[in-house]
């Protein structure tokens, strides 16, 4: 016989505790109660609770601190917050601290029951639960912590800001959140703000009517409309031009979009996930990104750790990529010698999981062996590329104009990366759009550095 699931009800009001206990028991739950945060923490160290329902304000602490302590000890517990002091700021804070949902007193038990069913289903602890499909591979504590937070964030409609280095898998995590949310059956639309030319980005996002500008021969829906009821990924949001940011802010606040050349507004119901490989806070401090837009996006912040902080995941990822690329090539999956894996762990991986993926593709494709060992690593693999002199300059010449040094540095970096603009941008710590602009500014051959 299946044992009833256990819920912990935390509230300093005896009447509320009794009412919730009676209603949960009527619905087949085993119920434990606590009158305060300290007692709740003690019980959570003794019993695993799939669900905790807690008030926010209590005499010996608050529910937000309780949530933080619960998340530290058990990230799989689903948490629903109840409060008579419902404000948007408090709701956001509750979500950031790990709440799955938020209800304001007074509420009916039918409302709570519906919330509980949805939270348990989406968290994977209830009947009909859905495990999100994702290619995010690994089991390191740093990665598991992020996935736990992402899964909890998915249960809300709050906008999410995902800051992480290039190659860590930001879009994969965004899709993971979409698949774990109630919007999973609706569209997932991604826009790379760095890849779309500035003059076309506004039309790409918001759409346009016929005749809105030269070449607009037909009306077009923007990505906001296409993502309606689903999730819109704004990739590399830091690349969005300053002049376009106020319009994006208005759309995020009003959840209404206006096509170019049209005065009619269109309501949209979407979750926004914005990603960036640079610090938006730094950009705000430098005046390169609007502070109000940053705060609007940064409701639930998430950060994917770089591969150098996930050493335990390198062997798992290497095996995953080896199997993936061997299957694509129609070959048997090669075995990875421990010395080979140890060699991988000595590398810094500035390109993160994407760099490891490309390396494993090359090894699997070029080796032709069923066993991959240390001989497949070269001496250059263990150290960063040597710094080369500027073309035509054995040493740095004093008095060289800064503009000329900048041109030489850009050209040399592009040569080192084989003309790969994305990798050059990562090495120089600048954006892909800046790379493109500088190539035009210095008159470097665009086809050579594509």
In the chain, the domains with their CATH numbers are: 6-122 (3.40.50.2300), 143-303 (3.40.50.300), 308-382 (1.10.8.60), 386-450 (1.10.10.60)
What pLDDT score does 123 carry? 59
Q: Give dist(CA 51, CA 45) in Å, integer.
A: 14
Task: Count other Cβ atoms within 10 Å, centred on residue 436.
Answer: 16
- Six-digit token pair at 182? 């109630």
Those residues whose C-beta lies under 8 Å from the C-beta of residue 359, and which sit 6 or more positions away, are none
What pLDDT score does 164 carry? 92
CA dihedral 310, 315, 318, 323 (to 10 degrees): -130
What pLDDT score does 1 carry? 39
- Look up tokens 């003690």; give the residue: 42
Residue 307, CB half-sphere, CA atoms under 13 Å: how many? Answer: 26
- Six-digit token pair at 383? 């150290």
Helix (H, G, I), strand (E, B) or coil at 32: strand
Q: Give dist(CA 122, CA 102) in Å, integer.
A: 15
Q: Give dist(CA 249, CA 98) in Å, integer.
A: 26
What pLDDT score does 73 carry? 59
What pLDDT score does 404 carry? 75
Those residues whose C-beta lies under 8 Å from the C-beta of residue 117, and which sit 6 or more positions away, are 126
Q: What is the pTM of this model?
A: 0.59
Q: What is the pLDDT along the chain (450 residues), one digit of tens a residue?
A: 345 688 999 988 888 889 899 888 888 889 999 988 888 888 887 778 888 998 877 777 766 777 777 766 555 678 888 876 544 455 556 665 667 777 777 777 777 887 787 777 655 555 444 444 456 888 888 888 898 899 899 989 999 999 999 899 999 999 999 988 999 888 899 998 888 887 788 888 998 888 887 777 788 888 999 899 999 999 999 999 999 999 999 999 999 998 888 888 899 999 999 999 988 999 999 899 999 999 999 999 999 999 998 988 999 899 989 988 888 888 888 888 888 998 898 888 888 999 999 999 988 888 776 788 888 886 546 554 444 444 444 445 556 677 777 887 888 788 777 677 777 787 787 877 888 888 877 777 654 444
Q: Give dist(CA 410, CA 69) in Å, integer.
A: 48
């Amino acid at each position: 016989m299946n044992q009833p699931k256990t819920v912990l009800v935390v509230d300093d009001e005896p009447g509320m505790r009794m009412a919730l206990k009676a209603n949960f028991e009527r619905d087949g739950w085993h119920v434990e109660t606590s009158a305060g945060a300290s007692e709740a923490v003690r019980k959570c160290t003794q019993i695993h609770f799939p669900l905790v329902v807690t008030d926010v304000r209590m005499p010996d602490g608050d529910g937000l601190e309780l949530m933080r302590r619960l998340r530290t000890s058990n990230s799989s517990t689903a948490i629903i917050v109840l409060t008579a002091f419902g404000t948007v700021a408090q709701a956001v804070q509750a979500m950031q601290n790990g709440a799955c949902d938020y209800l304001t007193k007074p509420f009916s038990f039918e409302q709570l029951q519906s919330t509980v069913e949805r939270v348990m289903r989406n968290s994977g602890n209830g009947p009909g639960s859905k495990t999100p499909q994702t290619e995010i591979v690994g089991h390191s504590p740093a990665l598991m912590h992020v996935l736990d937070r992402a899964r909890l964030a998915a249960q809300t409609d709050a906008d999410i800001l995902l800051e992480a280095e290039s190659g860590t898998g930001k879009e994969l995590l965004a899709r993971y959140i979409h698949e774990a949310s109630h919007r999973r059956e609706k569209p997932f639309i991604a826009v790379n703000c760095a890849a779309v030319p500035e003059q076309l980005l506004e039309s790409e996002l918001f759409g346009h009517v016929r005749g809105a500008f030269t070449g607009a021969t037909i009306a077009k829906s923007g990505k906001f409309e296409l993502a309606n009821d689903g999730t819109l990924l704004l990739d590399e949001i830091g690349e969005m031009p300053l002049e376009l940011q106020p319009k994006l802010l208005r759309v995020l606040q009003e959840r209404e979009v206006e096509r170019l050349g049209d005065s009619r507004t269109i309501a949209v119901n979407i979750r926004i996930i914005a990603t960036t490989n640079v610090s938006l806070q730094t950009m705000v401090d430098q005046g390169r990104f609007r502070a109000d837009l940053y705060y609007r996006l940064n409701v639930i912040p998430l950060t994917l750790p770089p591969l150098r902080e996930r050493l335990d995941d390198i062997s798992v990822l290497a095996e995953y990529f080896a199997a993936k690329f061997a299957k694509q090539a129609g070959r048997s999956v090669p075995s990875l010698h421990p010395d080979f894996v140890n060699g991988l762990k000595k590398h810094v991986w500035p390109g993160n999981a994407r760099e490891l993926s490309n390396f494993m593709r090359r090894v699997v494709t070029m080796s032709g062996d069923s066993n991959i060992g240390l001989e497949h690593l070269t001496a250059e693999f263990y150290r960063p590329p040597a710094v080369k002199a500027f073309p035509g300059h054995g040493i740095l010449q004093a008095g060289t104009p800064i503009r000329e040094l900048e041109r030489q540095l850009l050209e040399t970096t592009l040569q080192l990366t084989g003309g790969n603009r994305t990798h050059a941008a990562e090495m120089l710590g600048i954006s892909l759009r800046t790379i493109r602009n500088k190539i035009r500014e210095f008159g470097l051959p665009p086809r050579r550095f594509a």
